[in-house]
Amino acid sequence: MADFFQTGAIATLHRLGLPDVARLEQQLQEYSRETPIALVLPCHARELRTPALRGILRELRQVPYLRQVIVGLDGANAEDWRRARRLFRTLPQNPVLLWNDGQRMKRLLEKLEAADLSIGQAGKGRNVWLCWGFVIASGQSRMVAMHDCDILTYNRELLARLCYPVAHPSLGFDFCKGYYARCSTQLNGRVMRLLVTPLLRALKSIVGQVPFLVYLDTYRYPLAGEFSLDVDLVRRNRIPSDWGLEIGLLAEVYRNCAPRAICQSELCDNYDHKHQELSPRDDEKGLNRMAVDVTKSVFIRMAAEGIKLDAGLFDTLASAYMRQAEDTLRFYAADAAVNGLRYPRHEEEKATATFARSIQTAAKAFLQDPLWTPLIPNWNRVQSALPDFLDEFHHAVTLDNKN
């Protein structure tokens, strides 16, 4: 059983007692009459053959309350596209697939670039943004939920708990972020545990209890890939195209949403997905690359909130982060010991050293170009610049799904 402590900055919805998925789904069916729900699944072609995706599809076949399922497919050739259509066709919700590497989509992306609407390089952020665009273009749903396609421990409860706070007509939430524990025989989630939390607390020790940093540090798992939001936020929010998607989205929600309309929901007892290599010697790969992108996203959004970031601050941050990380290692070693989990101290130390270098890389990039941003224009701007684009987008996706 989870605790029921409220952190105060945003509402925390805990998973208490025995799960009752049938009750949640029955109520969601009722709520979805007023608030139709779209589920967005960003998927890479390499995930099409995985046990994780097969398990997700098996669970989704039993979900009764979804109006739409939108699948964004990255890295797919023609054979992958046909495989994906066969695979997702088994869902009763008649999913729509976006072939992000298909010729029709490429022509649409070129049109955006020609209109000075840069949407960055291919990646999860751009994939999610395109799926959001189809939700808006189709006009069928009033809220959107999103989760990854590599979840090994997926079940229907996760999705129901993610959708429920925003779909409920009287709870008053416009945005819900998922959170959960991540452990097996050892503690997982290294970027969250050993980078994000120590980084945020080191920054607070330097610049003080800045509301934006307090807000980010309130989330139990800010890097979780599961969230749901009202379609009006889908239109207004700008999101990064790189690994900074989750932090960038939380920053946009902070900007566009009242704190009382934001919550985090505990989704499941435990969570596991694919694990990436640390890549300590290459900041263009693995968790090292993710750490650089996440840290740059934090710096960019801090600057946007009016927080002064200079070389002196970054020099101080290097020492402050290492002090926080050392305390964090001790705390997690104790947590693992009391729960009988393995704690590979050397690997944890190596990760914190790698993340310290990631922070330095991100700081150097920020100082060289503080105005650089990976944020994609929001869909309101696209509609203003290209009034017919959403209709063309909807038509192209429809044709891809017919052929």
Q: What is the DSSP string of 85-131?
A: HHHHTTSTT--EEEETTSHHHHHHHHHHHHTT----SSSHHHHHHHH
Helix, strand, coil tally for the chain in percent (to 5): 55, 10, 35
Residue 5 lies in a domain: no
Residue 352 lies in a domain: yes
Q: Encode pLDDT of 346-365 as tens digits.
A: 999 999 999 999 999 999 99
The residue whose two tokens read 């050892």 is 186
Number of neighbouring beta carbons within 10 Å of residue 307: 17
Residue 4 lies in a domain: no
- The CATH number of whichever domain residue 191 belongs to comes to 3.90.550.10
Indicate the residue type of 320: A
Quote the domain boundaries for residue 204.
Answer: 11-402
Q: Encode pLDDT of 67-107 as tens digits.
A: 999 999 999 999 999 999 999 999 999 999 999 999 999 99
Residue 395 lies in a domain: yes
According to the model, what pLDDT value does residue 8 have? 76
According to the model, what pLDDT value does residue 373 have? 74
Residue 126 lies in a domain: yes
Domain count, the chain: 1
Q: Encode pLDDT of 182-210 as tens digits.
A: 888 899 989 999 999 999 999 999 999 99
Residue 2 lies in a domain: no
The residue whose two tokens read 């789904």 is 25
Cα–Cα distance measured from residue 126 to residue 145, given in angstroms and rounded to the nearest whole number: 16
According to the model, what pLDDT value does residue 142 have? 98
According to the model, what pLDDT value does residue 1 have? 47
14 within 8 A of 3, measured Cβ to Cβ = yes
Percent of the chain with pLDDT over 70: 98
Cα–Cα distance measured from residue 98 to residue 391, given in angstroms and rounded to the nearest whole number: 15
Residue 115 lies in a domain: yes
Q: Encode pLDDT of 176-186 as tens digits.
A: 999 998 888 89
Residue 3 lies in a domain: no
For Cα atoms 339, 344, 347, give the angle at the middle one, nearest 5 degrees. 140
Residue 102: partners with Cβ closer than 8 Å, 6 or more residues away: 76, 81, 400
Mean per-residue pLDDT, 240-267? 92
- Whether the predicted pLDDT of 281 surpasses 80: no
301 within 8 A of 365, measured Cβ to Cβ = no
According to the model, what pLDDT value does residue 20 have? 93
Indicate the residue type of 147: H
Write a three-state SS string for 123-142: CHHHHHHHHHHHHHHHCCCC
- Encoded tokens for 166: 């925003």
The continuous run of DSSP H or E covering 44 comes out as strand 37-44
According to the model, what pLDDT value does residue 275 have? 62
Cα–Cα distance measured from residue 165 to residue 210, given in angstroms and rounded to the nearest whole number: 27
Q: Encode pLDDT of 285-322 as tens digits.
A: 788 899 999 999 999 999 999 999 999 999 999 999 99
